[in-house]
Structure 1
Amino acid sequence: MSKLADYGTLVMTYLARHPAGVHNAAEIAAATQISLPTVSKILKILAREAILVSHRGMRGGYSLARTPDAITLMEIIDAIEGPIGLTECSSAPGLCEQETSCSVRVNWMKINAAVRQALTGVTLADMAQPTLAVVNTDQLLAHRRAQVNA
């Protein structure tokens, strides 16, 4: 996955966490700490793909086209990158010279389908949920002791 698609999920997660109102590119860039030109590019792509709605005018900006639970990660990634594929032949037929004689093509297609299914199973609402990081306190204490003893 490209950095742009990764940033696209961050932008969309921000919008999912703040669904009320219209948000402009500068606000989103400041909140996500992604450069304004990159955020603007992402917003335009996602609006063109009808995942976001563009609002013109003085208080213009962007809002989600659907509820966060109706937008999947797969849609966001496909909108930004086009159909993903782990190998050339698993995303579009005819791209690889070895395709007709490849002994592992079918397996790569299965793997690619599983990845796409997993990404389709994760919604923007899922991404917007806060998560708690598990902290291994024993490891943390051992690291601190090692620093003190060094």
Structure 2
Amino acid sequence: MRLSSMADYAVVVMAAAARHCGGARVSAVQLAEETGVPGPTVQKLVSRLASAGLLRSSRGVGGGLKLARPAAAITVADIVEAVEGPIALTACCDTGRHDCTLESACTVRPHWPLVNEAVRGALAGVPLTRLVEMPTAAPLEHSTSEYAA
């Protein structure tokens, strides 16, 4: 399972915006420069993220972008869903989709919502604040007996 590049970029852009959460507003151009995400892509993401209530945009002098709520109250699930829609690992979970050749005999379909909720729960357990922290390096583990002469 992989996120789309747009969902990935949305997480990167939101993490960059969160680093400015001390009250300062940031522009989409700044976010593009800081992240390396192309400007037009940042503009598209900012629009979706603002529509989802994750970013607040204001125009004019002193305008720019700001998180709509504290970074601790925004999760990776929120960001992914803002860009991709509800988290669903299979197309058959989408309402109104009936294009699977196995649908009439599938015994797993009723269980996909449970799997989807588990994945969503895992992503919801990662607040944006965790993505802004500097990671701590884990010590390398190696066995000296493996290399003993």
Normalising by the smaller structure, the TM-score range is 0.7 to 0.9
% of aligned pairs identical? 40
Task: Look up the match of 2:116.
Answer: 112
Coordinate RMSD, CA, aligned: 1.9
2:51 & 2:112 partners in 1: Cα distance? 31
What are the Cα deviations for residues 56-86 of structure 1, in whole angstroms up to 9, with x where unaligned? 0133210000000111111111111111211
Moved more, 22-31 or 58-67: 58-67
Residue identity in the other structure for 1:57: G
2:45 & 2:128 partners in 1: Cα distance? 16
What are the Cα deviations for residues 2-30 of structure 1, in whole angstroms up to 9, with x where unaligned? 10110000111111122021100111111
Q: TM-score, normalised by structure 1?
A: 0.82
Task: Look up the match of 2:6.
Answer: 4
Could you list the structure 1 runs, at least 4 aligned residues long, displaced by more than 3 angstroms after superposition: 96-100, 133-139
2:57 aligns to what SS in structure 1?
strand
Alignment gaps of 5+ in structure 1: 140-150
Moved more, 120-129 or 67-76: 120-129
Q: TM-score, normalised by structure 2?
A: 0.83
- Structure 1 pair 87–109 and aligned structure 2 pair: CA distance change class (3 A): same
Residue identity in the other structure for 1:10: V
Q: How does 1:1-150 map to 2 (within 5 A)?
A: 1-20=3-22, 21-90=24-93, 92-97=94-99, 98-134=102-138, 136=140
Number of residue pairs matched by the alignment? 138
Q: Once the 2 structures are TM-superposed, how far is the Cα of residue 99 of structure 1 from its aligned partner?
A: 3.3
Alignment gaps of 5+ in structure 2: 144-149
